[in-house]
């Protein structure tokens, strides 16, 4: 075989090796991203459920307020329990939102709480400096 042909085949072999490495890196990155998307979806389902529970507690607190307005004295234990549940659910919701933001690689605006990109200098929603 001619030396030029051998050199050409060696270059083709080297290029093919680099392409295979790049394809493997891309596949790993895609797998990682798919895993992040799955984790985000699971967290969003949990957020949906927690928001439903939170809204139910707020509805119950609203009912207590209406009953109080109508002259029916609520039990202090009931009000305290509902407020504790609301605080606990609010904390869980905040924690899940932070985990979702971490997975999405975004930051939260300190002014309005809106999602922004990691590299953003200003909030996309309110324009505040990040």
What value does the mean pLDDT of the chain take?
86
Cα torsion 69, 82, 46, 117 to 10°: value is 70
Q: What is the CATH number of the domain that holds 22?
A: 1.10.287
pLDDT of residue 119: 81
Q: Is the pLDDT of residue 24 over 80?
A: no
- pLDDT tens digits for range 71-108: 898 888 999 999 999 999 999 999 999 888 877 777 78
Q: Note whether residue 129 is domain-resident.
A: no
Cα separation, 1 vs 113, whole angstroms: 68
| Percent of the chain surpassing pLDDT 70 | 95
pLDDT of residue 115: 78
Q: Note whether residue 14 is domain-resident.
A: yes
Q: Note whether residue 117 is domain-resident.
A: no
Domain count, the chain: 1
Identify the domain containing residue 8 by its residue range: 3-105
DSSP 46-109: HHHHHHHHHHHHHHHHHHHHHHHHTT-PPPHHHHHHHHHHHHHHHHHHHHHHHHHHHHHTEEE-
């Amino acid at each position: 075989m001619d030396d030029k042909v051998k050199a050409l085949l060696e270059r083709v072999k080297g290029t093919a090796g680099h392409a295979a490495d790049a394809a493997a890196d891309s596949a790993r990155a895609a797998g990682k991203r798919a895993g992040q998307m799955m984790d985000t979806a699971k967290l969003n389902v949990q957020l949906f459920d927690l928001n439903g529970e939170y809204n139910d507690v707020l509805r119950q607190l609203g009912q207590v307020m209406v009953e109080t307005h109508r002259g029916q004295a609520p039990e202090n234990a009931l009000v305290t329990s509902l407020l504790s549940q609301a605080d606990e659910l609010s904390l869980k919701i905040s924690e899940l939102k932070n985990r979702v933001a971490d997975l999405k690689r975004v930051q939260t605006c300190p002014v309005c709480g809106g999602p922004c990109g990691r590299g953003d200098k200003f909030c996309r929603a309110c324009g505040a400096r990040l």
